[in-house]
Amino acid sequence: MRRLVTDTMVVAERNLVRITRAPDLLLAFTVQPVMFVLLFVYVFGGAIKVPPFYDSYVAFLLPGIIVQNIAFGGFVTALGLNEDLQKGLIDRFRSLPMARAAVLAGRTLADVATNMLSVVVLLVTGLIIGFSFDASPLEIVGGLALLLLFGYAFSWVFALLGLLVSSPEAANSLGFIAVFPLTFISSAFVPVESMPGALRWFAEINPFTVVVDAMRALWVGAPAGHSIWGAVVWSFVLIAVFAPLAVSRYRRAAGH
């Protein structure tokens, strides 16, 4: 176990160092999220009617757009794993005296760090344009922990995706096709009550809706229902399903 932890930290560090050496990768965690927030608030915000509980569209939007961005943070894992496979780096790892699980564990752990950066950038942007917390410090910290847990769960989804496809370009395209509709058919950007029947039913059971509603309950005092516990359960279910699948696929892809 000590070796697994040590090797996982080394792999995570390697992935984070790579970002500092290729600063353009930081655009996905900094500039792109800010662009989404500003576009939705100042272009679409005036046309979207939010429930009376929220005093502005910013209060309604920010938790949703942070959840969306956290989920997409796993794209780096999908692209990086597939690139390592194509370049033969996974074979190099096999020849080293290291814990086999450390490659995937290190990748997903690095996503937690980059997701933290994204959350900070989005929160600062939100506070500048009018967002404010209506929560205790414990609820704010609880919301941050829930975001990182959900992002970690989706990192395993993207890890499996990156190991299944044939190229980094395919991983990017397939991931976008699979996840992007989930984020929009949810309560992230508009109230689900505004959707037609079939879409509304799907949005209500969509894990993104559950997590977004949980974040609004924790950060702006919106009615919680069962959304907070539901978000925790969804996160652990995603990890329980996709982590074993990703590990199994990694073993086959790497010839273990």
pLDDT digits 0-9 by tens, 82-116: 877 777 777 677 777 777 777 888 888 888 888 89
Tell me the H-state helices in 88-206. Answer: 89-95, 102-128, 137-164, 168-184, 197-205
Confidence band, pLDDT 50/70/90 cuts, at residue 143:
very high
Tens digit of pLDDT for each residue in 12-68? 887 777 777 766 667 767 788 888 889 888 888 778 888 878 888 898 999 999 998
Tell me the pLDDT band of 254, cut-offs 50, 70 and 90.
low
198 pLDDT more than 90? no
Percent of the chain with pLDDT over 70: 94
CA quadruple 92, 95, 99, 100: dihedral positive or negative? positive
Give pLDDT, residue 150: 94
